[in-house]
Amino acid sequence: MHSKFTISAPDQGLAAALQHKIDRKTKPLGALGRLEEIARKIGLIQQRLDPEFDQPHLLVFAGDHGAANAGVSAYPQEVTWQMVENFLEGGAAINVFARQNGIFLTIIDAGVAHDFGKRNRLIHAKVAPGTANYIEQPAMTMEQCARAIERGAEISRNLAANNCNLVGFGEMGIGNTASAALLTHCLTGTPLVDCIGRGAGLDDSGLARKQALLVQALTRYRSAGGDDAPLNVLAEFGGFEIAMMVGAMLGAAEARMTLLIDGFIVGSAALIAARMAPALLDYCIFCHRSAEPGHAAQLQALGVEPLLDLGLRLGEGTGAALAWPLVRAAAGFLNEMASFESAGVSEKC
């Protein structure tokens, strides 16, 4: 139903040379901790002992969810397009962090129920003005899902063609923590209640309502004989922004780019993409641990450890933007830090 992606793990031929270069820096062995792991990973992705980042981009995919109007979120659906306007005007948290940390920011209309017109820094890739209400029917058709995946892949391929070799992922979509909770449950087997959080700030009664609605959606799906194949689950409960991120991740990994993975919503897309192409994980840096409870289930299922744990639950790619300086620092020490030999520093006895 979608383009075939050819994603293979990076060649390990440079692994020993990268490790030797890291170990010969003027420091005790392993003293830079996780930065050493990131440096090695980046070197293998780029197949270079001196990796460099070119044209780093952060992509924020936006889409509306039919289930938002059923009450799964604390905010009304129109907040999605209002926040996209805020992104385009430069006033959101992701704008601040992207500016501070020198990463290009582009917004993608994957399926917002609004017409933005022609705007700078906005890619029009709308599949439809929001998904259907998955409490009553599948969120999207398989054809719509395929179209979203392909459009996401095309965005990454265009970036790669313009020499970008690192891309971060963010999202905006009222109701999308509910979608991510359903996807996480289906793909990891974690009890649904353990995947559901407060999202954009539900109170206790709102959380109980969200839980009841998602149980209703899951019951409908199961009674219709739905299986948990990744693309089936994505079409059933996903948003266009999530499906488009799946395609963009697959396209970016195929182009051997480094992927910065944000929190819970982006994590749900990474979970699907990794089930489709397990080697994708060799290109991913998981940036932070979200305060949304379902994110821990995703990280455990993927067998990964994020860089940061700041209690974030904003989305927008903010965790990816905040982790970017650490990723850049990993390449920086690998390229610029002196070795014992070059600095004339004595080694331990």
What are the structural domains of the chain?
Answer: 12-51+334-343 (1.10.1610), 57-328 (3.40.50.10210)
Q: What's the pLDDT at 138?
A: 97
| Residue 58 β-bridge partners | 105, 168
User: Does the pLDDT value for residue 146 go beyond 50?
Assistant: yes
Which residue, among 107, 137, 143, has the nearest Cα to 125 in the 3D structure?
A: 107
Residue 122 CB neighbour total at 10 angstroms: 18
> What value does the mean pLDDT take over residues 34-45?
98
| Residue 123 β-bridge partners | 108
3 pLDDT band, cuts 50/70/90, is low
89 pLDDT band, cuts 50/70/90, is very high
> What value does the mean pLDDT take over residues 123-141?
97
> For 333-347, how does the pLDDT look when each residue is reduced to its tens digit (9 = 90+)?
999 999 989 988 888
Q: What's the pLDDT at 349?
A: 66
| Percentage of the chain modeled with pLDDT above 70 | 99
Q: What's the pLDDT at 135?
A: 96
User: Does the pLDDT value for residue 68 go beyond 60?
Assistant: yes
Angle (CA) 223-226-232 rounded to 5° is 150
74 pLDDT band, cuts 50/70/90, is confident
Q: What's the pLDDT at 2?
A: 45
> For 222-276, how does the pLDDT look when each residue is reduced to its tens digit (9 = 90+)?
988 878 899 999 999 999 999 999 999 999 999 999 999 999 999 999 999 999 9
Q: How far is CA 85 from the centre of its chain?
A: 21
> What value does the mean pLDDT take over residues 43-59?
98
For 102-114, the DSSP string reads T-EEEEEEEE-SS
> What value does the mean pLDDT take over residues 25-52?
98
- What average pLDDT does the structure give for the chain? 96
Catalytic residues: 316
37 pLDDT band, cuts 50/70/90, is very high
pTM: 0.96
Cα four-point dihedral sign 132, 134, 140, 141: negative
| Residue 208 β-bridge partners | none
